[in-house]
Structure 1
Amino acid sequence: MLKISLENIGKKFKNEWIFRNLSFEFSRNEPIAIIGPNGSGKSTLMQALAGAIPINEGKITYSNQEKTIPDENWHELLSFSAPYLELIEEFTLAESVNFHVKFKPFQNGLSTSDFLQIIELEKHKDKPVKNFSSGMRQKLKLGLAFYSQTEVLLLDEPTSNLDQKGFDWYISQVEKAIKNKIVIVSSNEPKEYIFCEKHLNILDFKIKA
């Protein structure tokens, strides 16, 4: 079974530690919420978990059946959704989805057509992404993360730009994902992680240099 282990990790910018001495373990069927106020370092931790930025000390380990997975292979195992992640503006919705699945196929052989119905945007399949509203963009990012054939789901501020209908859709989809993925949610909105029994408060790991 896949696990993500943090051993006394720390990240700093210049002389300020964003977090330090952070040890934790993430596993399947146990969704975790990374909480803390805006600007506290939640997104920085999420990016470190994804291998997108380096840490300054400690160790992050992905392992399966006690066998360590090289960090250059982490991207094959995870899906990441965040408001700041970019989409290819010139692509239509259908082109965006088809491009994505070339690198990360959908689970259970899901077709592009069925996926567009699931994210409730099938009527916009030929519309360029640059003409999408912020809510439509966020729903696309979430849908790609939920349905990619990956074992780790990282959700940073998942319901940003979503209306109530979009939020209800998010909750229904994330509850399905919990059953077979490592799910980590970064948020300062309790409603976004209501399904997480365990919380990791980034403020508990704030140490000045």
Structure 2
Amino acid sequence: MILTGKNIGKKFGKNWIFRSQNFTLETGTSVAITGKNGSGKSTLLQIIAGFLTPSEGEIEVDGKKIDESEHSAVFVGPYTEIIEEFTLKEFLEFHSTFKKNVCSIEEMAESASLPLSKPIADFSTGMKQRAKLITSFFYENDIIFMDEPTSNLDAEGFNWWKKEVLGLKQQLVILASNDMQEIDICQKQLNL
């Protein structure tokens, strides 16, 4: 799969956040969108994911506009919602109703060092972030979008995240970050 950005620009009101962003990203690659605070990293990530419309340019997947392409994707950020009324087991079982998991729910929880029977509402912010990240690593996804993926993770959580990202070979991984530890594991950078 090849994802292409052609002359991508975004403005809010009369102010351009960024312009003329061109890139070609392929399956099996990890890419970090980098730049100063306010440069539009999260905005570009959301445009590539199809959540925001660019003010100019277009995103294509295998030559088709992103909204016309058929691919499986997941978006994880510290601000993305999770169903806190569920236990982790219920949340992962629910997720399994619309995406195929690549290992058992028990293996997912064990890998992330999370309890299956505890309500997600009782998780710490770091535990909630690991629960969201499980949906990236252990379900079939063609593209994995991550915005500041290790925010709220302790050292153990970061090491788990790094191991899992480095093990992804059949996906395109795109993350937005200012964290050099996150950026350094990526093969490419898009700097705003």
> Aligned partners of 1:139 and 1:191: how far apart in 2?
17
Q: Structure 1 residue 132 and structure 2 residue 128: aligned?
A: no
1:68 positional shift: 2.5
Matches within 5 A, 1:135-174: 135-174=126-165
> Where in structure 1 are there 5+ consecutive unaligned residues?
203-209
Runs of 4+ in 1 over 6 A off after TM superposition: none
Q: Report the counterpart of residue 24 of structure 1 in structure 2.
A: 23
Aligned residues: CA RMSD:
1.5
Counterpart-to-counterpart distance in 1, 2:60 and 2:143:
13
- Structure 2 unaligned blocks of 5 or more: none
Structure with greater helix share of residues: 1
Distance 2:42 2:128 in 1: 19
Other-structure match for 2:76: 81
Match of 1:58 in 2: 57
Secondary structure of the corresponding residue to residue 83 of structure 2: coil
Alpha-carbon separation, structure 1, partners of 2:86 and 2:33? 33
- Normalised by the length of structure 1, the TM-score is 0.86
**Alignment counterpart, residue 176 of structure 2, candidates 183, 186, 191:** 186
> 2: CA distance between counterparts of 1:68 and 1:200?
22
Query: C-alpha displacement at 1:69, in angstroms?
Result: 6.1
* Contact kept? 2:73, 2:145, Cα under 8 Å: yes
Partner of 1:195: 185
| Equivalent residues in 2 for 1:83-98, closer than 5 Å | 83-98=78-93
State the aligned residue count.
192
Deviations 1:114-157 (A, max 9, x none): 21112111xx2121111110000111111111122011111110
In the superposition, the TM-score normalised over structure 2's length comes to: 0.94
> 1:187 Cα shift?
0.5
Shift of 1:183: 1.2
Shift of 1:70: 5.4
Provide the C-alpha distance between the structure 1 equivalents of 2:20 and 2:183, rounded to a whole number of angstroms. Answer: 24
Aligned equivalents of 2:76, 2:113: Cα separation in 1: 18
Offset at 1:73?
Answer: 4.9
Once the two structures are superposed, residues 57-114 of structure 1 have per-residue CA deviations (whole angstroms, 9 ceiling, x without a partner) of 1110011xxx52651555x42121110100012111111111111112213xx12122
